[in-house]
Amino acid sequence: MATKTSIPSSQSPKLSRLRPQYIPNHIPDSSYVRILDTTLRDGEQSPGATMTAKEKLDIARQLVKLGVDIIQPGFPSASNSDFMAVKMIAQEVGNAVGDDGYVPVIASFCRCVEKDIATAWEAVKYAKRPRLCTSIATSPIHMEHKLRKSKDQVIQIARDMVKFARSLGCNDIQFGAEDATRSDREFLYEILGVVIEAGATTVNIADTVGIVMPLELGKLIVDIKDNTPGIANVIISTHCHNDLGLATANTIEGARTGARQLEVTINGIGERAGNASLEEVVMVLASKGDHALNGLYTRINTRHILETSKMVEEYSGMHLQPHKPLVGANAFVHASGIHQDGMLKHKGTYETISPEEIGHKRTTRIGIVLGKLSGSQALRKRLEELGYDLKEDEVDSVFRQFKAMAEKKKVVTDVDLKALVSHKACHAESIWKLGGLQVTCGTIGLSTATVKLVNIDGSTHVACSIGIGAVDSTYKAINLVVKEPTKLLDYSLNSVTEGIGVNVTARVVICRENNHTSTYAFTEDANYPTFSGIAAEMDVVVSTAKAYLVALNKLLRWKESFRCA
Ligand code: MN
């Protein structure tokens, strides 16, 4: 492949256009589209994607580099850990004002319940631009079977709760109509009119179950604009799910017909089949905004898309399919002879978006080379370039591991570094750490593992177990110490670098094996939250043990902090 080339100016992100001044209920430039990222709230609701508060903070900082207008970092009433994450992000990220005055709005999610709203405000009020996003279902099926409330009752609750949010001192209030796309039109106009009068500044139209088509969503937005009292004084938002693979298309149609806030997630993670993906929506606007969408634009710095995508992939444990648009491993790889021939003659033959524009590097091997002679400054710089904003002692700690790795293998790649950092982040709050491991395995005799685990209180615990192979005996030995019944749902190994001196990344997904179910779901099915762990080491069994501990620690922390459904 060719070396790095300059990007045609016509494809550059439109950063020459300024980000309009932030006013909750009004955007001074009618072509500007706000991006609300809900990776840390709806995205985290993906099965297996539970993130620690520290991981959320890292991602929030990365979202700032990306320039998202609004970050929705969590649902404070759901757990202590989410409360802490929202508070920490509001305090740190929500107060870091850029040179151009940009500071993201921090949006705290809550149901239309007084206690939820008060808790959400308690967590988010520290931000320079705090927002409360309160939501209630408006469709007949949800009101009748889930809320068990009449239309009048739901309207009353919505009005009271928006007023309550305002009474706390919040002047940026988003009202979400859950399952709006299956709601009765007249009722929707009425309830939106009521919350606007009560003080809502953004109204969110959620396609909660991912059932509409672009044509239908566009018509809905137009109808809302035509029939809702006071709608001209607020921002219309969309929140689309991907159950039929239409989330991006629906979101774009929403913007085309008048929505000026789009709710999206990195890599499209989220409940069930996920949400509209930030990278797809933003790149559609970047490449088609001028030609097909009347000049609509965002201020997302698209060059940071890829590194953000990678960070979310690692922290959430949600692996990308290779053919994921824009950020998948194959998204810009041309395999057939005819295509390659065309690409060599002119890139425009098969490439309409330049990969550099979203942060890909046009090299076969990505990244600069760090080795055992590299110093901590080089490491710090590279980590910054990769999107990690680490404190002094964190860099020192990564540096020690980096040195140890560089002793064993000649070149430490970006992928290795990311594995090291995500490993650290995961371990920031760990209850159990691996103190030592000894495994005997093979075809003679039983596989035996001895593990030494160090508890957060400093105590050391040793256990020994036999099992079917090295991994099984190791997990059994860990279980003897931790005593938390778990079920292994998924286990995979990836060698991330070439050659014999490889760093092996292990990924495990576990769930609790007992009768305690969470009650997020409205179904009667048991809903087991799942937890993933990733770890990279030179030794396969060691990385496997560490990955298991990462997942176990998340599970234990979750258990501690889970207060209500
Ligand atoms: Mn959702």
User: From the CA of 381, how far away is ligand 1's center (Å)?
Assistant: 37
Work out the pLDDT band at 3, boundaries 50, 70, 90: very low
Instruction: Indicate the residue type of 202.
Output: T
Give the model confidence (pLDDT) of 390-416 as tens digits. 788 888 888 888 887 777 666 677 767
User: From the CA of 271, how far away is ligand 1's center (Å)?
Assistant: 6
User: From the CA of 286, how far away is ligand 1's center (Å)?
Assistant: 24
User: From the CA of 482, how far away is ligand 1's center (Å)?
Assistant: 34
User: From the CA of 330, how far away is ligand 1's center (Å)?
Assistant: 28
User: From the CA of 45, how far away is ligand 1's center (Å)?
Assistant: 9
> Helix crossing, 185-198 with 151-167: angle to 10°?
20
| Local structure of 94: helix, strand or coil | helix
- Average pLDDT along the chain: 86
Please tell me the predicted confidence (pLDDT) of residue 410. Answer: 63
Give the model confidence (pLDDT) of 101-121 as tens digits. 999 999 999 999 999 999 999
Q: For residue 321, what are its two tokens?
A: 């399919």
User: From the CA of 522, how far away is ligand 1's center (Å)?
Assistant: 14
User: From the CA of 270, how far away is ligand 1's center (Å)?
Assistant: 7
Q: Are β-strands 34-37 and 261-264 bridged in parallel, bridged antiparallel, or unpaired? A: parallel
pLDDT (mean) for 205-213: 98
Query: Is 439 a residue whose pLDDT tops 50?
Result: yes
Whether the Cβ atoms of residue 502 and residue 539 lie closer than 8 Å to each other: no
Please tell me the predicted confidence (pLDDT) of residue 10. Answer: 41
Q: Count CA within 13 A, CB hemisphere, residue 207.
A: 33
Query: Is 193 a residue whose pLDDT tops 60?
Result: yes
Range with lowest mean pLDDT among 38-52, 187-201, 412-426: 412-426
Which residues, including other chains, have CB under 8 Å from residue 480's CB and lie 6 or more apart?
463, 464, 465
Give the residue from 432, 417, 435, 302 showing the smallest Cα distance to 366. 417
User: From the CA of 527, how far away is ligand 1's center (Å)?
Assistant: 17
Superfamily of domain 34-316: Aldolase class I (3.20.20.70)
User: From the CA of 275, how far away is ligand 1's center (Å)?
Assistant: 7
Give the residue from 183, 254, 261, 195 showing the smallest Cα distance to 228. 195
User: From the CA of 65, how far away is ligand 1's center (Å)?
Assistant: 24
Q: Which segments of 295-370 does DSSP mark as H helices, in order?
A: 305-316, 337-345
Q: Are β-strands 130-137 and 105-111 bridged in parallel, bridged antiparallel, or unpaired? A: parallel
Q: Pick the residue with more confidence: 267 or 490? A: 267
Superfamily of domain 432-563: Alpha-isopropylmalate synthase LeuA, regulatory domain (3.30.160.270)
Give the model confidence (pLDDT) of 446-467 as tens digits. 899 999 999 999 999 999 999 9
Q: What angle do CA 52, 57, 62 make, to 5 degrees?
A: 125
Work out the pLDDT band at 514, boundaries 50, 70, 90: low
Q: Pick the residue with more confidence: 271 or 369? A: 271
Please tell me the predicted confidence (pLDDT) of residue 5. Answer: 39
Work out the pLDDT band at 365, boundaries 50, 70, 90: very low
User: From the CA of 272, how far away is ligand 1's center (Å)?
Assistant: 9
* Percent of the chain residues past pLDDT 90, beyond the cut: 59
| Local structure of 244: helix, strand or coil | coil
User: From the CA of 142, how far away is ligand 1's center (Å)?
Assistant: 15
pLDDT (mean) for 350-362: 83
Work out the pLDDT band at 337, boundaries 50, 70, 90: low
Range with lowest mean pLDDT among 245-254, 274-283, 328-337: 328-337
Please tell me the predicted confidence (pLDDT) of residue 380. Answer: 83
Query: Is 525 a residue whose pLDDT tops 70?
Result: no
> Helix crossing, 305-316 with 53-66: angle to 10°?
170
User: From the CA of 274, how far away is ligand 1's center (Å)?
Assistant: 8
User: From the CA of 265, how far away is ligand 1's center (Å)?
Assistant: 10
User: From the CA of 362, how far away is ligand 1's center (Å)?
Assistant: 35
Give the model confidence (pLDDT) of 123-160 as tens digits. 999 999 999 999 999 999 999 999 999 999 999 999 99
Please tell me the predicted confidence (pLDDT) of residue 390. Answer: 78
User: From the CA of 21, how far away is ligand 1's center (Å)?
Assistant: 28
What are the extents of the domains in the chain? 34-316, 332-358, 363-424, 432-563
Please tell me the predicted confidence (pLDDT) of residue 499. Answer: 57
pLDDT (mean) for 326-340: 76
Please tell me the predicted confidence (pLDDT) of residue 563. Answer: 41
Q: Pick the residue with more confidence: 193 or 496? A: 193
Please tell me the predicted confidence (pLDDT) of residue 409. Answer: 64
Whether the Cβ atoms of residue 54 and residue 390 lie closer than 8 Å to each other: no
Instruction: Indicate the residue type of 291.
Output: H
Work out the pLDDT band at 321, boundaries 50, 70, 90: confident
Q: Pick the residue with more confidence: 418 or 303? A: 303
Cα separations in angstroms, 165 against 84, 89, 446, 552: 20, 20, 63, 37
Which residues, including other chains, have CB under 8 Å from residue 60's CB and lie 6 or more apart?
40, 71, 73, 89, 92, 93
Please tell me the predicted confidence (pLDDT) of residue 362. Answer: 59
Please tell me the predicted confidence (pLDDT) of residue 521. Answer: 34
Query: Is 12 a residue whose pLDDT tops 50?
Result: no
Q: What is the DSSP letter of 446?
A: -
User: From the CA of 174, how far away is ligand 1's center (Å)?
Assistant: 14
pLDDT (mean) for 346-374: 71
User: From the CA of 242, how far away is ligand 1's center (Å)?
Assistant: 10
Q: Count CA within 13 A, CB hemisphere, residue 564.
A: 10
3-state secondary structure 132-167: EEEEEECCHHHHHHHHCCCHHHHHHHHHHHHHHHHH
User: From the CA of 292, how far away is ligand 1's center (Å)?
Assistant: 28
Q: For residue 164, what are its two tokens?
A: 């309550």
User: From the CA of 413, how far away is ligand 1's center (Å)?
Assistant: 36
Give the model confidence (pLDDT) of 46-87 as tens digits. 877 888 888 899 999 999 999 999 999 999 999 888 999 999
Measured between alpha carbons, how far is 420 from 540 in angstroms, rounded to an integer? 15
Whats the size of the chain, residue-wise?
565
Query: Is 13 a residue whose pLDDT tops 80?
Result: no
Please tell me the predicted confidence (pLDDT) of residue 335. Answer: 63
User: From the CA of 264, how far away is ligand 1's center (Å)?
Assistant: 9
Whether the Cβ atoms of residue 530 and residue 538 lie closer than 8 Å to each other: no
Specify the residue for token string 């998948």. 328
Please tell me the predicted confidence (pLDDT) of residue 469. Answer: 92
